[in-house]
Structure 1
Amino acid sequence: MSVIRIKIMAVAFDNVTMDEAVGYAMEQIQSRSKCMVVTPNAEIAQACVTNDKLRDIVSRAGLVLPDGIGVIYASRILRRPLKGRVPGVEFGENLLSALRDTGKSVYFLGSKPGVAEEAARRMQVKYPGLKVAGCHDGYFKEDSQAIEAVNAAHPDALFVCLGSPRQEYFIDEHFQELNATLMVGLGGSLDVYAGKVERAPDLFIKLGLEWLYRLLKQPSRLGRMMKLPQYMFAAFRWRIRGEE
């Protein structure tokens, strides 16, 4: 399956639906073609404007998914509309569903001690037949500790939930060293899978207001949420200037 990549300011996103993204990921796993998947939202995309290292890593990824509603709005402002959001947390769970009963396995890396294990337990209950090769928390002092644990488990898919940009740096730096085919940066998804963090109600998600729900629940996120309007204003500037 071929995908079309559309440039939205500093980041070129793959123009795919959720089903297409999961289908592409499964193709890579089945063919054993090593692939990195990133899921930039407006905050990460905005960071790519000034963070050359992160921008280069994202541009090299095999699959770049538009996680946030801000990215979709920006694509419309620039008259390069993407098909729609492909939230990382939903992509991860849809991939887990696709993996069950295939004999292919997943490894959970990240979050606080015990969270990955609880996420694995819950996902295996929700998706009978899902094979979890192993788990490791994100509080390792040396990357080698996590790498050894992952490689000993030989997973087909690796969910790296260390937050951005740490997770992107980790995957990129150890891409060839890690014995996993598909490596996905999924931020705080393990906390959601483990039931430690609740997603916004369906109405908020449908209306593209998940960011507002998070802000209402955690006012301390205001500083981070300011990246969204900054990203939107940047899109308007790019359109006015006619930048490519």
Structure 2
Amino acid sequence: MRGDTVRVDVLGVGFDNLTLSEAAERGMELLHAGGTHYVVTPNPEIVEVCRENPAARAAVNGAALVLPDGIGVIKGAAMLGTPLKERVPGVEFAAGLLEKMAGEGMSLYLLGAKPGVAETAAERLRERYPGLRIAGFHDGYFQEDGPIVENIRQSGADTVFVCLGAPKQELWMAKNGLATGARLLCGLGGSIDVFAGTVKRAPKFWCDHGLEWFYRLCSNPRRLGRMMKLPVFLVHVRRAGRRK
């Protein structure tokens, strides 16, 4: 299910052109649609991975909802003459979805992060979203998919937040989503750490001005290698724009 919108192509990745509130509404539509669906939230780094990895590109484009998490994606789409409405950060999409899920008494399974973090996140989410049911949780340190898939299936979770890092989480959802029995799976990177409070988001000013990436770099200089994907991404966008 992809709604009635035409996806915006950015270097081979098709993004759904939605606002944050529209994305949360679409997520709920998927939850009520029947079957199993998954959501991905690519940033420029993931788009670059998709350029080089056909399996990752297929997994990302195979999602029912592809949301632009990263100001670089927004700038890239504008440079290509196909602007997107706005950036849709994965953690904010998740928060909007959880609020709606809590209102309907739906259940959530958390998969990812270091041991103990998902449990802390679950406790905090219970407090923040009364009505939300926590079906279960598991850290991201596992060797075989089978036991995890079965655990999720047995939990009866409506939604699974899959936070294993890209492109592992996208490939995992594409491969295992249907077998989990969940109606919606969302690839959300480090969101479990944010919900647990072990990682803090940038202050509002930085987020509002598209500088969250810079704040994260200042907070953790070891991210520099990953951040270098952004200028590479913009160079590739410029080249693609010239070929149009």
Q: TM-score if structure 2 supplies the norm length? A: 0.97
CA contact (8 A) 1:161 1:189 kept: yes
1:185 partner amino acid: G
1:91 aligns with 2:87: no
Aligned to 2:209: 207
Aligned to 2:10: 8
From 174, 195, 205, give the equivalent of 1:172.
Answer: 174
Aligned to 1:74: 76
CA contact (8 A) 1:136 1:149 kept: no
Structure 2 unpaired stretches of 5+ = none
1:141-171 superposed Cα distances (whole Å, 9 cap, x missing partner): 1111211111110111110001111111111
Aligned to 2:65: 63
From 117, 120, 123, give the equivalent of 1:118.
Answer: 120
| Cα distance in 2 between the residues matched to 1:167 and 1:217 | 24
Deviation of 1:11 after TM superposition, in Å, equals 0.6
Deviation of 1:8 after TM superposition, in Å, equals 1.1
From 100, 108, 111, give the equivalent of 2:110.
Answer: 108
Q: How many residues align?
A: 242
SS at match of 1:46: helix
From 154, 159, 162, give the equivalent of 2:161.
Answer: 159
1:188 partner amino acid: G
1:118-154 superposed Cα distances (whole Å, 9 cap, x missing partner): 1111111111111111111111111112111111101
- Name whichever of 206-215 and 143-152 sits farther off: 143-152
1:16-61 superposed Cα distances (whole Å, 9 cap, x missing partner): 0111111111011123232110000000011111111100111111
SS at match of 1:175: helix
CA contact (8 A) 2:30 2:37 kept: yes
1:240 aligns with 2:242: yes
Q: TM-score if structure 1 supplies the norm length? A: 0.97
| Cα distance in 2 between the residues matched to 1:115 and 1:94 | 21
From 37, 40, 47, give the equivalent of 1:38.
Answer: 40
| Cα distance in 1 between the residues matched to 2:146 and 2:242 | 47
| Cα distance in 1 between the residues matched to 2:201 and 2:119 | 20
| Cα distance in 2 between the residues matched to 1:100 and 1:3 | 27
CA contact (8 A) 2:157 2:182 kept: yes
2:104 partner amino acid: T
CA contact (8 A) 2:113 2:164 kept: yes
SS at match of 1:196: coil
Deviation of 1:104 after TM superposition, in Å, equals 1.4
SS at match of 2:147: helix
| Cα distance in 2 between the residues matched to 1:216 and 1:75 | 26
| Cα distance in 2 between the residues matched to 1:27 and 1:241 | 37
